Amino acid sequence: MDSRHGKTRLNVQGDRLSNLPDDLIHKILSFVGIKLAVQTSALSSRWRFLWMTLPCLNFSSSDFNRKANFAKCVTHVLSRHNNQIEVTSAKLSFHGKVNQPFVRRFLDYAISHNVQQLAVSCLYDYGGIPFPLYLFSSQSLKHLTIAGDSLNSVRVISTWELTTLTTLHLEYITLNDVVTDKCTGIFSKCANLKKLVLKQCSMDTSNGVDICHPGLSNLTLEFGGLFKNVLNVVTPQLKNLTIRCWQEVHVSCTPELVSLIFEGSESDWVQFSSDGLRSLERVDLCISKQNDSDKLDKTDAHKFFDQLQQLHNAKHLTVNLQIFQLLSPLMELVSYQPSPFVELKSLKAYPRGAYSKVQETIPNEVKKYFLDSSPSATFTMVSCEEMRALENATSAQQLMAKLGAMLEHEKVKVETYRAHMDRGNSPIKSYEPNMHEQGNVRADNMQINKWER
């Protein structure tokens, strides 16, 4: 008797994953990719059709040994997916050409089912490829990511209108004049765009590029070494601007800018218009010389000094110590120049590296230049030890996040395996499959076996 009750209790615990509501199981399956999601159909009648109702579709060619099998998987899943289910999120990561039929089918399916988040990563083997953006025509899409890879960029050759799009992330993308035209380009045709990220992007031509948008509030530009063009930013509602290692950025009409993060050499410094940054609150600067052995001459130092004064409205300023070294040729000017930072509440300085062996100090003249007009402002000097502790903490957080994702993945696999082992005795089965359902499951399993080859 006890043994029988113990076995029942074990079965209930062993298949507790199946007791979860569909939306929670959908959430779990969204982390493991579509291939494993389809394989769960063999567990029990409870799982048989769950993958067909997934609102999040995640296809990756890295899960398959052969490209042909991946294409067959995409076609098979989309043909069996419940047409009544809206797709909230869709991801496609693949090798090969964008004009492959399964790519068009994936995009058409996602867009026709009111996708809100769409990410496409194209990892091509033999050079840049055209990516026709007319494929994107949606009245529901809010977040769009298009990415190439470090060896081959995706070439965007046409524009589109996405009236509901709020976030656009482009990585390893080559743009052309049609795409970036300030009147007809992709940035101007997305009326509700709020956040734009450009990372490792380039241009086909040598003409300047305009980002003109009346509603854009967040702009991130990262690693523009491939971008050999002047980038003109005209965004009157911009609140947050992040620039990392991107040259020739000219920013005008940004009266609402609140936060500025800049990392790069002094020659990369962003050019602001003379209308001022009157709303500026937080500034984080990490500026270095192009060559650590070089010293700025007085002309370049004056230029940098003038640029620094544009930030006079900042309330919270974080800088690296090398900035003070860049000002060293102007020590006499700095000594007599009134501090422009009249609104400053805090100044934080940190060393050039967490493992720097050189004891760096701030000249009193430079310190006074930053603080004299704001006597109540706090000053914090971050030590190398604190930098190391911060880096270690950040690294630990990143590792814990990766470990958490790995454990979640393994947990799903263990629970799925346990449910598979106990399905014969599981008490939660609500019905036995009919002949038609059995045939469908067998067909799906046969298809899975083919994908494995």
| Burial profile 21-30: b = 16 or more Cβ within 10 angstroms, e = fewer | eeeebbebbb
Looking at per-residue pLDDT, the higher value among 88 and 356 belongs to 88
pLDDT band at 282 (very low <50, low <70, confident <90, very high): very high
Domain count, the chain: 1
Does residue 374 lie in a domain region?
A: yes
Instruction: Determine the Cα–Cα distance for residues 24 and 20; give it in Å rounded to an integer.
Output: 6
pLDDT at 7 over 50: no
Q: Which letter does DSSP use for residue 281 in this model?
A: -
pLDDT at 444 over 50: yes
Q: Where are the beta strands (DSSP E) in 280-419?
A: 282-288, 316-320, 346-350, 378-381
Residue with tokens 């914090």: 380
pLDDT band at 9 (very low <50, low <70, confident <90, very high): very low
The CA-atom distances, in angstroms, between 453 and each of 68, 129, 398, 417, 446 are 11, 29, 35, 22, 11
Tell me the β-bridge partners of 174.
155, 202
Q: What is the pLDDT of residue 259?
A: 97
Looking at per-residue pLDDT, the higher value among 332 and 280 belongs to 280
Please write the tens of the pLDDT for every residue from 99-144: 778 888 998 899 899 999 999 988 765 555 666 666 667 889 999 9
pLDDT band at 453 (very low <50, low <70, confident <90, very high): low
Q: What is the pLDDT of residue 374?
A: 92
Please write the tens of the pLDDT for every residue from 213-228: 899 999 999 988 766 7
Q: What is the pLDDT of residue 394?
A: 72
Type of residue numbered 135 = L
Please write the tens of the pLDDT for every residue from 266-277: 778 888 887 778
Q: What is the pLDDT of residue 193?
A: 94
Q: What is the DSSP string of 188-203?
A: HH-TT--EEEEES-EE
Type of residue numbered 328 = S
Lowest pLDDT segment from 148-157, 218-227, 270-279, 342-351 = 148-157
Instruction: Determine the Cα–Cα distance for residues 276 and 311; give it in Å rounded to an integer.
Output: 8
Give the residue from 92, 38, 99 showing the smallest Cα distance to 450. Answer: 38
Does residue 347 lie in a domain region?
A: yes
Please write the tens of the pLDDT for every residue from 67-106: 888 888 899 999 999 999 889 999 998 887 767 788 889 9
Q: What is the mean pLDDT of the chain?
A: 78
Tell me the β-bridge partners of 233.
211, 251
Lowest pLDDT segment from 29-43, 367-381, 397-411 = 397-411
Structure tokens at 82: 């419940």
Structure tokens at 381: 């000097």
- CA 381 remoteness from chain centre: 31
Structure tokens at 339: 């501090």
Type of residue numbered 184 = T
Structure tokens at 190: 């997305």
Does residue 332 lie in a domain region?
A: yes
Does residue 313 lie in a domain region?
A: yes
pLDDT at 1 over 60: no
336: number of Cβ within 10 Å: 8
Q: Are 346 and 378 in contact (CB under 8 A)?
A: yes
Q: What is the pLDDT of residue 295?
A: 62
Q: What is the pLDDT of residue 425?
A: 44
Instruction: Determine the Cα–Cα distance for residues 213 and 236; give it in Å rounded to an integer.
Output: 8
69: number of Cβ within 10 Å: 17
Looking at per-residue pLDDT, the higher value among 182 and 380 belongs to 380
Q: What is the pLDDT of residue 428?
A: 32
pLDDT band at 35 (very low <50, low <70, confident <90, very high): confident
Q: What is the pLDDT of residue 6?
A: 47
pLDDT band at 175 (very low <50, low <70, confident <90, very high): confident
Residue 172, judged by CB atoms within 10 A of its CB (0-12, 13-18, 19+), counts as: buried
Does residue 387 lie in a domain region?
A: yes
Please write the tens of the pLDDT for every residue from 287-340: 877 665 556 667 777 878 888 888 999 999 999 888 887 887 777 788 888 889
Domain range for 312: 281-289+305-400
Does residue 388 lie in a domain region?
A: yes
Q: What is the pLDDT of residue 431?
A: 30
Does residue 344 lie in a domain region?
A: yes
Residue 233, judged by CB atoms within 10 A of its CB (0-12, 13-18, 19+), counts as: buried
Does residue 92 lie in a domain region?
A: no
